[in-house]
Amino acid sequence: MTQTPHGYQENGEDLRSYDRPSMTVDLALLTVRSGALHALLTRRDSRPFEGHWALPGGFVRIDESLGAAARRVLRDKAHLAEAFIEQLYTFGAVGRDPRGRVVTVAYYALVDEEQLAAARQASDSLVLGEIVVPWPGEAGGPVQLHSDEGAVLPLAFDHADILGMAVKRLRGKLDYSPVGFELLPKRFTLRQLQEVHEAILGTKLNKPAFRRRMLDKGVLHATGARETGATYRPAELYRFIERSAATPMEKEG
Amino acid sequence: MTQTPHGYQENGEDLRSYDRPSMTVDLALLTVRSGALHALLTRRDSRPFEGHWALPGGFVRIDESLGAAARRVLRDKAHLAEAFIEQLYTFGAVGRDPRGRVVTVAYYALVDEEQLAAARQASDSLVLGEIVVPWPGEAGGPVQLHSDEGAVLPLAFDHADILGMAVKRLRGKLDYSPVGFELLPKRFTLRQLQEVHEAILGTKLNKPAFRRRMLDKGVLHATGARETGATYRPAELYRFIERSAATPMEKEG
DNA sequence: TAAGATATTATCATTATGGATATATGTAAA
DNA sequence: TTTACATATATCCATAATGATAATATCTTA
Judge if A89 and A38 occupy the same domain.
Answer: yes
Please tell me the predicted confidence (pLDDT) of residue A243: 67
- What residue spans of chain B are helical by DSSP H? 66-76, 113-122, 159-173, 179-182, 190-201, 207-217
For residues A187 and A63, state if they share a domain: no
Q: Residue B176 CB closer than 7 angstroms to strand D?
A: no
Average pLDDT (A53-71) is: 97
The Cα B9–Cα B98 span in angstroms is 37
Give the residue among A84, A101, A83, A100 at the shortest CA–CA distance from A92: A101
Answer whether residue A8 is part of any domain: no
- Chain A residue with minimum CA distance to B88: A89
Domain assignment of residue A96, given as a range: 15-173
**Residue with the larger pLDDT of the pair B91 and A10:** B91
Confidence band of B245 (pLDDT split at 50, 70, 90): very low
* Domain end marker among A124, A151, A173: A173
The domain total for chain B is: 1
Residues (210-239, chain A) with CB within 7 Å of strand C atoms: 211, 231-236
> Is B246 part of a structural domain of the chain?
no
pLDDT band at B96 (very low <50, low <70, confident <90, very high): very high
Residues in chain A with CB shorter than 8 Å from the CB of B62 are 18-21, 101
Is residue A142 located within the same domain as residue A29? yes
- B237 — pLDDT class (breaks 50, 70, 90): very high
Residue A18 is predicted with a pLDDT of: 78
Contact B18 A22 (CB under 8 A): yes
Q: What's the whole-number mean pLDDT along residues B105-109? A: 98
A4 part of a folded domain: no
Query: In the prediction, which pLDDT does B47 show?
Result: 86
- Interatomic CA distance for residues B59 and A14, integer angstroms: 10
Mean pLDDT of A74-89: 96
Nucleotide nearest to B234 (CA to C1'): C26
Work out the mean pLDDT of chain A and round it to a whole number: 91
Please say if the pLDDT value at position B142 is more than 70. Answer: yes
Q: Which nucleotides of D are covered by protein (CB under 7 A)?
A: 5-12, 17-22, 25-29
Could you read off the pLDDT of A210-247 as tens digits, one per residue?
999 999 999 999 999 999 988 999 999 999 998 654 44
Span CA (A133) to C1' (C29), Å: 65
Q: Determine, yes or no, domain membership for B162.
A: yes
Reply yes or no: is the peptide bond before residue A48 cis, omega within 30 of 0: yes
pLDDT at A14 (0 to 100): 67
Point out the domain boundary residue: A173, A204, A227.
A173
Q: Model confidence over B5-20: pLDDT tens digits?
A: 454 544 445 676 778 9
Interface mutation target, options A3, A11, A23, A161, chain B, most CBs of B under 10 Å: A23
* Residue A127 domain flag: yes
My answer on whether A58 and A109 are in the same domain is yes
Question: Which has the minimum average pLDDT: A17-26, A58-67, A212-221?
Answer: A17-26
Please tell me whether residues A102 and A185 are part of one structural domain: no
Q: Does the CB of B224 sit below 7 A from strand C?
A: no
B98 and A8 within 8 Å at the Cβ level: the answer is yes
Q: Which chain C positions have some atom within 7 A of a protein CB?
A: 4-11, 16-21, 24-28
Q: Percentage of chain B surpassing pLDDT 90?
A: 81
pLDDT surpasses 80 at B100: yes
> Using CA atoms, how far apart are residues A205 and A214, in angstroms rounded to an integer?
12
pLDDT tens string A122-164: 888 899 999 999 999 999 999 999 999 999 999 999 999 999 9
Whether B218 maps to a domain, the answer reads no
Same domain, A83 and A133: yes
pLDDT for B195 beyond 50? yes
In the prediction, which pLDDT does B246 show?
45
pLDDT (0 to 100) of residue A244: 55
Determine, yes or no, domain membership for B7: no
> Which among A136, A157, A173 is the end of a domain?
A173
Q: What pLDDT is stored for residue A230 in this prediction?
A: 87
Of B107, B109, B108, B128, nearest in space to B117 by CA: B128
Residues A204 and A94 in one domain: no
Cα–Cα distance, A253 to B94 (Å, whole number): 9
**Whether A230 CB is under 7 Å from strand D:** yes
| pLDDT at residue B3 greater than cutoff 50 | no
Specify the pLDDT at position B119. 87
Is residue B38 a part of any domain in this protein? yes
Which of B6, B9, B22 shows the shortest C-beta gap to A15? B22
Query: Nearest 5°: CA angle at A76, between B9 and B21?
Result: 65
Residue A82: give its domain's CATH number.
Answer: 3.90.79.10
Q: How far is CA A62 from the centre of its chain?
A: 24
